[in-house]
């Protein structure tokens, strides 16, 4: 994964995730935040980063084909 994608995650994607409505997932996200040991929390963050970056790229690739 490129350094740009990691930068994009930190400066654009992550703030969007943090600002997203959490209504139906509030309890589950709070449980993850409070009950995970530090190493597991770090692993969750890296997994979230990987998934969010690739979901963003997928959106760019599929969105590009929509106007055609």
List alpha helices for the chain, DSSP H: 3-8, 14-19, 26-35, 38-65
Separation CA 58–CA 49 (nearest Å): 14
**Predicted pLDDT at 3:** 92
Residue 38 to residues 7, 10, 24, 41: CA-CA distances in angstroms? 23, 20, 25, 5
**Predicted pLDDT at 63:** 83
**Predicted pLDDT at 1:** 72
CB atoms within 10 A of CB 57: 13
**Predicted pLDDT at 65:** 66
Number of domains in the chain: 1
Full domain range(s) for residue 22: 3-65
Q: What is the pLDDT along the chain (68 residues), one digit of tens a residue?
A: 789 999 999 999 999 999 999 999 999 999 988 999 999 999 999 999 999 999 999 998 888 666 66
């Amino acid at each position: 994964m490129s350094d740009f994608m990691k930068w994009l995650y930190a400066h654009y994607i992550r703030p969007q995730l943090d600002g997203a409505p959490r209504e139906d997932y509030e309890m589950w996200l709070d449980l993850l935040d409070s009950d995970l040991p530090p190493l597991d929390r770090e692993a969750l963050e890296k997994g979230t980063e990987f998934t969010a970056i690739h979901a963003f790229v997928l959106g760019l690739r599929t969105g590009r084909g929509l106007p055609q």
